[in-house]
Amino acid sequence: MASWKCSDCKQTNKEAQFSCSNCDSMGFLMLDNADEMEVERSMSKKRRRVDDATVSQGAGQVSILDQESDECIWIKDSCNITVKSHDTQAAVSLQVGLQLAIALVLSISLGDSDQGRAIAQEMFQKFDDTQTNVQKIYIENSKDCEIVTTDTDLSVNIQALLEVLVTLVARLDIF
């Protein structure tokens, strides 16, 4: 039989127990002589069966947007080259503004409740994304060139957030 150690009082418990026999804590620390995954699976199954178990999750985990823009432009043996690189900072601040507005509308209309936070979290979770934009431009032996680079992925994201905001206020009869 596999065993586990309580994270609070270090009491060794049998795998079949889902709370510590000494201090009743449900935290477990070490797994002896056991397939870790197996014990963890059976522990979590047992915990789920406890009626008063609560699942708490920080509502602050909203919108994890990981964005990377790598831009490399080589210009070699050339003249009269114009480079226009679109400023993505403006887009990022727009996005933050939109997210703030959505959170604000929800917090006013639903009150500062767990429900409001859960909804806000869910709305932003739809936009959890990682974007990587890699652009490499190499110019050699050229004259009179114009280079324009734009990060369009983000603008689509902004449009989507705006649509959510507009739908939200329409639902609340603000317009």
Partner 1 sequence: MSNLPKNQKGIPNIAVDLLVSEIFRKNGVNLNNAKSKLSDEQKTAIKELVEELSSQVDSFMNSNNEKR
> CA end-to-end span of the chain, whole Å?
64
Minimal distance, residue 37 CB to partner 1, in Å: 31
Smaller CB separation from partner 1, 39 or 164: 164
Minimal distance, residue 39 CB to partner 1, in Å: 33
Smaller CB separation from partner 1, 21 or 159: 159
Smaller CB separation from partner 1, 7 or 149: 149
Please name which of 27, 8, 34 lies closest in space to residue 17, comparing C-alpha atoms.
27
User: d(Cα 36, Cα 112) in Å, to the nearest integer?
Assistant: 40
Minimal distance, residue 120 CB to partner 1, in Å: 10
Minimal distance, residue 65 CB to partner 1, in Å: 16
- 3-class secondary structure per residue, the chain: CCEEEECCCCCEEECCCCCCCCCCCCCEEEEECCCHHHHHHHHHHHHHHCCCCCCCCCCCCCCCEEEEEEEEEEEECCEEEEEEECCHHHHHHHHHHHHHHHHHHHHHHHCCCHHHHHHHHHHHHCCCEEEEEEEEEEEECCEEEEEEECCHHHHHHHHHHHHHHHHHHHHCCCC
Smaller CB separation from partner 1, 30 or 59: 59
Smaller CB separation from partner 1, 44 or 113: 113
Residues lying near partner 1 in the complex (CB under 8 A) are found at: 84, 86, 90-91, 94, 97-98, 101, 104-105, 108-111, 115, 118-119, 122-123, 126, 135, 137, 147-150, 152, 155-156, 158-160, 162-169, 171-175
Minimal distance, residue 170 CB to partner 1, in Å: 9
